[in-house]
Amino acid sequence: AFTIRIAHTGAIIPVNPGQSAVAALAAHGIELPVSCEQGVCGTCLTRIVDGIPDHRDSYLTDDEREANAVFLPCCSRAKSECLVIDI
Ligand code: FES
């Protein structure tokens, strides 16, 4: 499990094991645009302000993966305890 913090509001959203970040945000009334929900299309691309994502998509390039500035919250998770996102 990890938490997501919304940079501009400070809201903290827990993401349970087996729950996607998109689903956790939706449960708190924050709807991100999604399409494939399998890490393929890039629709849910989200900027990361702080924290290390655990990339599980097949959309980002290797350079983008290493930069850790964006992630795909429909499928990816976090290696750090908290991911701060800019939405
Ligand atoms: Fe397609 Fe997330 S919805 S990559």
pLDDT digits (tens, 9 = 90+) for 16-30: 999 999 999 999 999
Question: Sign of the CA dihedral 85, 11, 79, 58?
Answer: negative
Separation of CA 24 and ligand 1 centre (Å): 15
CA 11–ligand 1 middle distance (angstroms): 23
Residue 41 CA, closest ligand 1 atom number:
1
DSSP conformation class of 79: S
Rounded to the nearest angstrom, the distance between the alpha carbon of 9 and the centre of ligand 1 is 24
Q: Render pLDDT for 1-57 as a digit per residue (tens, 0 to 9).
A: 999 999 999 999 999 999 999 999 999 999 999 999 999 999 999 999 999 999 999
What residue has token string 């998109």?
Answer: 22
Residue 79 — pLDDT band, cuts 50, 70, 90? very high
18, burial (CB in 10 Å: exposed 0-12, middle 13-18, buried 19+): exposed
